[in-house]
Structure 1
Amino acid sequence: MTTTTTTTTNHEQHDVVVVVVPLPAQGHLHASLELSRLLSATYNIPVYYVSTPAHIRQAQTRAVRWDPLTTPNLNFIDFPVSFEVPPPNPDASIKFPSQLVPAFNSSLQLRDPVTNLIKKFASVSRKVVVVHDFLTSYVVQDVPQIPKTECYCLHTVSAFLAFTYVYDAAKPPVPPEAEVVLEKLPSLDGCNSPEILEFAKKQINARVQGGGNIFSTSRVIEGLYLDLLAKMNPSKEFKHWALGPFNPVEIDATTTANRHYSLEWLDKQPANSVIFVSFGSTTSLSEDEINELAFGLEQSQQRFIWVLRDADKGDIFSGEVRERELPEGYEKRVSERGFVMRDWAPQLEILAHPSTGGFMSHCGWNSCMESISMGVPIVAWPMHSDQPRNALFIAEGLKIGILMREWERRNEVVSAETIERVVRTLMASPEGEEMKRNATELKEAVKLSVMEGGVTQKEMESFVAHITR
């Protein structure tokens, strides 16, 4: 076990400590780390972020505009584990990143060390609050038997998605505005691989009741579905908190210090003229998909910045990263209005830049929240997991995006002509203008929600008061 302590915090001096147990995948690591920052830096609560060495390093190096190693009260504890690190397979019939499953399974080895760590903290603290990912329930299953502990489950998915599972199973009555969206729900077929379903089953079987759910969302975005979820759980003791967005809502992307080279390219483009194309950390496109996307972007005549990289491996620091090829001469041909980058992109800063006017996204929930926070409408192109239902919510629920294709047609390669048409609709049509207006309104609502007296701020204070009571 290695402990990295950012300030001299001694858990014996505190009556409440928080232990955070994330799933070792980028979106989950990120949301857990941002919540840890809020609790430790803003509310002065000692937080211990617990994972494997590779995944703690991953979370730290990809933090956006802050340094986890100098944040007061934020501590990192890693427990070494071993696991295979296969490369991603861009030609897999199901797009779920199965190369990550060995890393997920390695997290099961943390059950005993995490239990012992919490026992140690419980012996010297008034209370130990454990915040665990839904997909690390297995790791914390013994915690309810430890005196002076409480568990809370962090959902890094949308409240809409969580409610759809209830809706699939029970079809509870819903208001008309929800019904319009829910009746179009895509199936879960093709969302997950057999390996991840097996892993998820272990988590469901080990689920702890706990004191409540934390959602990486805001009531101004998903109040309807948070209320519907609360109705489904009649226990007054069990609470739901929406503590997101877990990202800054205001970023000056034009500041000059230590800027990423992509932002300098954006500086030279007109306002709202660029579509940002990125499919996150867990999607690898096939060669055919890359070629069609390349030609579709070219034919659209729109400016674009495209992050063309393979999905993460289970350990992002292990081995070489495969560079994906584009058609010969392509980058030279589009150099006037297209910019291709192959490394880790500062996504939030690109979305915040005044030149960015659209986002072609896989619709992972962190990406959706970042796009909403920056007021950028979305071309929704879901690949796996929660993404098909997030995409529906973005397009039909919030009306801030357009679907690239129906989920039922996921096995077809999307043609360059379709890509061209959809990109033009978002970036250069009256419908696209309407989506942009809706996105800007939502951005303003989110910004107000995190200010003093705003709904998210109040929700955070309610959560902190609850865990320190």
Structure 2
Amino acid sequence: MESKQEKSMSIVMVPYLAHGHVSPFYEFAKKLSNKGFHIYFCSTPICLEPIRNNNNHFDNHQIKLIDLQLPSSFHQQLPPHYHSTKNLPHHLMNTLLAAFDASKPAFSDILKTLRPELVIYDGFQPWAAEAARELNIEAVLFITGVQSQKIPKVTECNKEQMDCFFKNSVNGMTPIQRFLKCVTSSSGHMVLIKSSTEIQAKFGKPEDVFGDVVPVGPLVQRPLDHDGDEKIMDWLNKKEASSVVFVSFGSENFLSQEEIEEMAHGLELSNVDFIWVVRFEGEINNVKKTIHEALPQGFLERIQIQGKGLIIDWAPQVKILAHTSSGGFVSHCGWNSTLEAMMYGVPIIAIPLQFDQPLNANLVVDMGVAIEVPARREKKITRQEVAKAIKTVVVEEQGKEVRRRAKEWSENWKKKEDEEFHVAVEKLLQLVQQSKK
């Protein structure tokens, strides 16, 4: 039974300005609103635009979208369409983070107006917890990736990652310093994490700096209808159960030209039906021409004649993974994509590209729901390894156990996700109630 406190409590949520953070924060917001909480979802207009454009958002009147304006002093370098990491030129990443830091006064004004009882913030903005504390509002960190509970060691990082984690300083803080400050600023030593108790047990004990690590479940969205889905779903509906491999590397990860060619040849060699989301860094317009140029000569014509493949530049990922025809997922192993595959029982062909993705790939391989294309660890993809991995997971007898484990995890999660979320909700309620005493 829901308490009166549960029905009246208001929360401001403020994710980092990346789709991989906004998306799980919004799924978390939807689940909290379904429990009776009043949610104010705060981000830049460009980050909120996809939510506003999605008619399903307006089915939930408990969530109010709040525009956070980055300071106008940054607009010449960073116009509003760049107030998100998506399509942001790499050299402006630090500028975006500096502008986000400088939005603390605007965020404080939002808190003064709304007067919520709780702020849920992300791991890159310790200023959000500071702004809340200055107004005597509790603030709790929400971690969107399970690997974040392990502080990376220099020996575990390649040079690119080492520079990012330990050397790339903005406003006097490296990413590691920002993250640790966010952890230690979280009220009640509580840290929420997008994970499950089973994964936490598999992954092991978090670092000592973490207090009470509370899983909120996988927070995987349910399949929704979008404009333009019909062609994709009609194509899938004609395929046999568990016969199609879905290939996607997320919205902010990109294969090199050589890797695109090897992936294309690997898909053909596998002889498995496929849907492949092909994206290019910084590419917004004229995508069709670019795809023709990037793919091997004659590839598009062959797969079209054979009906073996579908090349697209955007996909309703969850809807595809939930479809009965999906039998494998070639993925970079971003945490959101990994959990979506596990929730819908689709085994993973792991090709991690950067940051936490190799660690995520190790985890799901260890859990028995994935195999990894090994050559990518040497910074290359080979068509032979791609074809072998796809055939193993989708078709061959030796992949039977991976397919079985993926289905088993899916069934277990669907039974337990509400229980885990209920525990997290109760802990949040207790935190706020105790603060009022």
Does the pair score TM above 0.5? yes
Matches within 5 A, 1:353-432: 353-396=323-366, 398-405=367-374, 408-410=377-379, 413-432=380-399
Structure 1: segments with no counterpart, 5+ residues: 1-13, 91-95, 170-184, 314-318
Matches within 5 A, 1:245-256: 245-248=218-221, 251=223
Matched, 1:131 2:120: yes
Matches within 5 A, 1:63-102: 67-81=56-70, 82=75, 83=78, 85=82, 100-102=93-95
Q: Which moves more between the two structures, 368-377 or 419-428?
A: 419-428
Rounded Cα–Cα distance in structure 1 between residues aligned with 2:192 and 2:181: 18
CA contact (8 A) 1:362 1:381 kept: yes
Rounded Cα–Cα distance in structure 2 between residues aligned with 1:157 and 1:311: 23
| Equivalent position of 1:329 in the other structure | 298
Q: Which moves more between the two structures, 42-51 or 425-434?
A: 425-434
Output the amino acid matched with 2:193: F
Matched, 1:352 2:307: no
Rounded Cα–Cα distance in structure 1 between residues aligned with 2:226 and 2:63: 29
CA contact (8 A) 2:140 2:192 kept: yes
Deviation digits for residues 134-154 of structure 1 (CA, Å, limit 9, x no counterpart) = 11223443322322x111111
TM-score (norm 2): 0.83
**1:338 to 1:191, Cα distance in 2 relative to 1, 3 A:** farther
Deviation digits for residues 326-369 of structure 1 (CA, Å, limit 9, x no counterpart) = 22321121222433333321000100111100000000000001
**1:224 to 1:414, Cα distance in 2 relative to 1, 3 A:** closer
Report the alpha carbon displacement of residue 248 of structure 1 after superposing the two structures with TM: 3.9
Output the amino acid matched with 2:427: F
1:26 aligned residue (19, 31, 37): 19
Report the alpha carbon displacement of residue 224 of structure 1 after superposing the two structures with TM: 4.2
Count residues with an aligned counterpart.
Answer: 405
1:150 aligned residue (131, 138, 154): 138
Matched, 1:218 2:210: no
Rounded Cα–Cα distance in structure 2 between residues aligned with 1:256 and 1:99: 31
Deviation digits for residues 359-388 of structure 1 (CA, Å, limit 9, x no counterpart) = 000000000010000001101111112101
Deviation digits for residues 268-327 of structure 1 (CA, Å, limit 9, x no counterpart) = 1111111100000111222111111101110111111101112578xxxxx636543322
**1:365 to 1:209, Cα distance in 2 relative to 1, 3 A:** same
| Equivalent position of 1:289 in the other structure | 259
Deviation digits for residues 215-248 of structure 1 (CA, Å, limit 9, x no counterpart) = 111113333447x22x8358xxx43221122124
Report the alpha carbon displacement of residue 38 of structure 1 after superposing the two structures with TM: 1.2
| Equivalent position of 2:29 in the other structure | 36
Structure 2: segments with no counterpart, 5+ residues: 1-6
**1:301 to 1:415, Cα distance in 2 relative to 1, 3 A:** same
| Equivalent position of 1:112 in the other structure | 105
Rounded Cα–Cα distance in structure 2 between residues aligned with 1:272 and 1:71: 34
Q: Secondary structure at the match of 1:275?
A: strand
TM-score (norm 1): 0.77
- Which has the larger helix fraction? 2
**1:217 to 1:283, Cα distance in 2 relative to 1, 3 A:** same
Q: Which moves more between the two structures, 457-466 or 207-216?
A: 457-466
| Equivalent position of 1:320 in the other structure | 285
**1:463 to 1:344, Cα distance in 2 relative to 1, 3 A:** farther
Matched, 1:53 2:45: yes
Q: Secondary structure at the match of 2:169?
A: helix
Rounded Cα–Cα distance in structure 2 between residues aligned with 1:224 and 1:417: 31
Report the alpha carbon displacement of residue 201 of structure 1 after superposing the two structures with TM: 4.9
CA RMSD in angstroms, aligned pairs only: 3.3
**1:306 to 1:373, Cα distance in 2 relative to 1, 3 A:** same
CA contact (8 A) 1:98 1:193 kept: no
Once the two structures are aligned, what percentage of the paired residues are identical?
Answer: 24
Q: Secondary structure at the match of 1:390?
A: helix
Rounded Cα–Cα distance in structure 1 between residues aligned with 2:97 and 2:50: 14
1:442 aligned residue (390, 409, 412): 409
2:213 aligned residue (240, 243, 258): 240
Q: Secondary structure at the match of 1:190?
A: helix
CA contact (8 A) 1:141 1:206 kept: no
Rounded Cα–Cα distance in structure 1 between residues aligned with 2:220 and 2:128: 26
Between 1 and 2, higher relative CO (CA 8 Å, sep ≥ 6) is seen in 1
Report the alpha carbon displacement of residue 260 of structure 1 after superposing the two structures with TM: 3.6
Rounded Cα–Cα distance in structure 2 between residues aligned with 1:75 and 1:109: 23
Rounded Cα–Cα distance in structure 1 between residues aligned with 2:18 and 2:158: 21
Rounded Cα–Cα distance in structure 2 between residues aligned with 1:112 and 1:89: 25
Q: Which moves more between the two structures, 103-112 or 208-217?
A: 103-112
Q: Secondary structure at the match of 1:232?
A: coil
**1:348 to 1:202, Cα distance in 2 relative to 1, 3 A:** same
